[in-house]
Each structure stands twice: as C-alpha cells, then as structure tokens.
Amino acid sequence: MSTLVAYFSRAGQNYGNGGVINLRKGNTEVLAEAIAADLGADLFKIDTVEPYPEDYYATTDQAKRELRENARPAIQGPLPNMEGVDCIVLGYGLPQLVGHRAHGRQDLPRLMRSYGRYHRPSLHQ
C-alpha cells in the first residue's frame, strides 16, 4: 500500500501568539513532512496558480471573498503520479484561511476520487 501526503500550507505572515508573526515554513508543512517521513510516504505541496498575498490581512480578505463567491482557485500542476497510491493523507491549516478550508485544496480530493483513491482528511491545526 502506497501513501501520499498532500498538503496546503502558508509560510510567511501568519497569526500566532496574539499577533502576526513570520514563519519560515508553514505549520502544516512541518507536520506533513513529519508524517510523510514516519509513513515513508511521498509529499505533494498544494499551491494555487495565483499565489495568495504575502500580507496576512490581505490573504484573509481574499479567503473571505473566495468563500462568499464559492471560488475554486486553480491548483498548480502537475499533479502527483497516482499510480500505485492507495491512500492520501490531506493536510491543510485552518487559521490562516479565516476558519474555513482553503478553497484551492478543495478540488484535490475530487481529483483523487476520480482516480479511485481513498483520501483521509487530517492535519488540521
């Protein structure tokens, strides 16, 4: 059984410890790497074609707008090779996207199901 850890993470400006802080690496990315190492799984970082703004507040404004408009930002390709993958662990951080799942990552489970693969949502912060 082969496993893929796919994740959406935000480095740079994030909210933490009562204010905006700068992270070299997003929290979800740190967790995804640890889980992939533990499971011997491949990693796939989900990035949107149009990156989110560097500014934390501009990012949360954009995420709120996407939520209202039911937007689905395109995912950067290429998608991972799914041959032989039986299980997908999907990670995404909630706080940086105003308490909602990142819209850019919502299409990945649909794509994975089209391959007939099982995905296990996890890694919420």
Provide DSSP, 56-124.
HHHHHHHHHHHHHHT--PPBPSPPPP-TTEEEEEEEE-SGGGTTS--HHHHHHHHHHHHTT-EEEEE--
In sign, the C-alpha dihedral spanning 24, 30, 32, 33 is positive
- Is the model more confident about 81 or about 96? 81
For residue 14, count other CB atoms closer than 10 A to its CB. 20
For the chain, domain boundaries: 2-122
- Pairwise pLDDT comparison (17 vs 20), residue with the higher score: 20
More confident residue, 93 or 73: 73
Domain 2-122 sits in CATH at 3.40.50.360
User: pLDDT tens digits for 20-68?
Assistant: 999 999 888 999 999 999 999 999 998 889 999 999 999 889 888 888 8
Over residues 101-113, the mean pLDDT reads: 52
The enclosing H or E element of 38 equals: helix 27-39
Q: How many CB atoms lie within 10 A of CB 75?
A: 19
User: Residue 99 has what pLDDT?
Assistant: 45
pTM of the entire predicted model:
0.74
